[in-house]
Amino acid sequence: MFPRIYFIRHGETEWSLSGRHTSCTDIPLTTHGENQARELAQHLQNIRFVRVLTSPRQRARRTCELAGLGSVAKIESDLTEWDYGDYEGQRSVDILQVRPRWNLFRDGCPRGETPGQIAERTDRFITRLRALDGNIALFSHGHFGRVLAARWIGLTVSEAQHFLLDTASLSILGYEHNHDESPIIALWNAGSDYF
């Protein structure tokens, strides 16, 4: 057996709706975000998960709970969002007015995580995941999930910019033909309209 990773981005928050970068600010889901999370439950209920891990942030924990997996979930600090440092709460469009050509995946954030630091954290977590067997559910955040996907298949952090993740989306990482040298993205950014 090899791990099959079900990555779930948390439901909508006020800041995700407005495009504000949210890492350590612990804000709740909107009513729509809670409804999105409840919709996930029907798609996850028949899957037997050997592990359920969630970011410590309430938006991820609440999504996990409303998706029906909160009672078996364990908090995993490596699932926290990219640390935006000085850019916490700011929108990319506003940052670009002050710092043209800025790109999170290439430049990181002042007094936040660098691309090298997020790669190190993600790689460490992937090593732990690859030692497991069976279905694993992860409840986390957009930019971290994009880096996780890129690193899972051997791409650089800068290439993670090409993997968009919507709120309350489901993505699946695994291996082609259960061959450990062939990591794949089996499903990406599937929302309620996909199911």
Please check whether residue 104 is in contact with residue 141, taking contact to mean a CB–CB distance below 8 angstroms: no
Which residue spans within 39-153 are E strands per DSSP?
Answer: 49-54, 74-75, 134-140
Contact 72, 64 (CB under 8 A): no
Q: Is 81 a catalytic residue?
A: yes
- Assess whether 10 carries a catalytic annotation: yes
Q: Which of 34, 65, 76, 81 is catalytic?
A: 81
Residue 45, CA distances (Å) to 39, 40, 137, 191, 192 in order: 11, 9, 12, 16, 15
Active site residues: 10, 81
